[in-house]
Amino acid sequence: MYEESIVQLTATEEKVLAKLAELSDRCDQIERQMNDPATAANAAEITRLGREHGRLAGLVGQYRRLRQWQSQREQAESLLAEDDTDPELRELAEQEIEDLTRRGRELLEEIKGQLVMSQEASVGSVIMEIRAGTGGEEAALFARDLYEMYKRYAERRHWRLEPMSFSPTDLGGFREVIVNFRGNGVWAALVYEGGGHRVQRVPQTEAQGRIHTSAATVAVLPEPEEVEIDIKPDEVVEHVARASGPGGQNVNKVSSAIKLEHLPTGITVSMQDEKSQHKNRAKAWRVLRSRLFDFYEQKRRAQRDATRRDMIGSGDRSQRIRTYNYPQNRLTDHRINLSLYSLDRILMGDLDELVSALADYDKQQRLENL
């Protein structure tokens, strides 16, 4: 059989190949559906199928190339099995078998990573929510520093950044920040930031130079396309009020603040940064879609595999994932027991080494739980 002839497959690789065979069949099924006149008349369904096909096409194409190489390898093996094969032809067959085996092994390794990480790679827009935790004003300053770190990282990656909501403090910190990042690989890189972040340093508000510990939480939510999540209008209650805070006469006269409440889940979103009620409503709906998408994804993952509760990037806000120790210039990620003595560079947006280590660990965990 094909699966048995790729030189000593592991149990994980056998699962990978079985899954790839399923995806190949699904790709064929989608193509048949898209060619069906009844489906072609449904624009929303065609869009959904086209998006799914796009996600699968690259991976399935590699799988089919792997099968083609295996077929060529089997043909070369059949030549070696014949007693009357010309010596020169035999030598060529042996070289071809060696080459195809090596290329097949390399491609299989590449496919394994893409299979378990493909969903993250396909999401090009996320909404990040940063909130000050324990620590008062110092926690708000830390939330601001985290925002600046991610902002610099986004600039290095050439992502587009869109501030959506800020709640500043008197000393320049943030009680809450909501920001949208959009670009290639944005979800794959930022998915690991969800959780509790702890800082150890001498606060600006500390007169005696003592080190304090404060915290902030980060939530990273994929921003779905509207067709990916269906929200019934009668399940959302909209409240309109006058915005609070600075703004002069506009605050006093115009009801521009928007609050959306999703009745089935109890999730609420408030937005008042814009003077325009229309703009606040549009932003509130974007955040609501992301929170609901994340809510249902978390629920689906929990039902599918309870053993993956400790998976990186779960977004569990109560989990302490990382410590930023300023006196030692050290960042420690507790999920993979990684310490980097380059906190100054990381705060300037140099997150590549950290993200790479988390992604490698995540890939291995996913392969083991495939």
What whole-number distance in Å separates Cα of residue 315 and Cα of residue 66?
A: 36
Strands lying side by side in the sheet with 174-182: 160-168, 174-182, 125-132, 212-222, 195-201, 320-325, 330-333, 338-340
What whole-number distance in Å separates Cα of residue 191 and Cα of residue 128?
A: 10
Q: Which residue has the tokens 């069906």?
A: 36
Report pLDDT digits (tens) over 67-82: 888 888 888 888 787 7
At residue 306, the pLDDT reads 46
Report pLDDT digits (tens) over 284-338: 898 998 888 888 877 766 654 443 344 333 434 446 899 999 999 999 999 999 9
At residue 120, the pLDDT reads 65
For residues 261-286, one letter each, b for 16 or more C-beta atoms within 10 angstroms of the residue's C-beta and e for the rest, the string is bbeeeebebebbbbeebeebbebbbb
Among the listed residues 58, 289, 184, the one whose alpha carbon sits nearest the alpha carbon of residue 297: 289
Going by pLDDT thresholds of 50, 70 and 90, the confidence category of residue 111 is: confident
Read off φ and ψ for residue 269, nearest 5 degrees: -135, 130
At residue 5, the pLDDT reads 47
Max mean pLDDT among 106-110, 143-147, 216-220 falls in 143-147
Coil, helix or strand at residue 310: coil
Mean pLDDT, residues 27-36? 91
Least confident piece of the model among 20-34, 71-85, 187-201: 71-85
Mean pLDDT, residues 220-232? 74
Q: How deeply is 194 buried, as exposed, middle or buried, from its count of CB atoms within 10 A (0-12, 13-18, 19+)?
A: buried
Least confident piece of the model among 51-65, 154-168, 216-230, 356-370: 216-230
At residue 245, the pLDDT reads 57
At residue 345, the pLDDT reads 97
108 near 6, Cβ under 8 Å?
A: yes
At residue 3, the pLDDT reads 41
Domains and CATH numbers, the chain: 3-121 (no CATH), 123-227+309-368 (3.30.70.1660), 229-303 (3.30.160.20)
Mean pLDDT, residues 8-37? 85
What share of the chain in percent tops pLDDT 90? 32
Task: Calculate the CA 264 to chain-centre distance.
Answer: 26
Q: Is the pLDDT of residue 252 over 60?
A: no
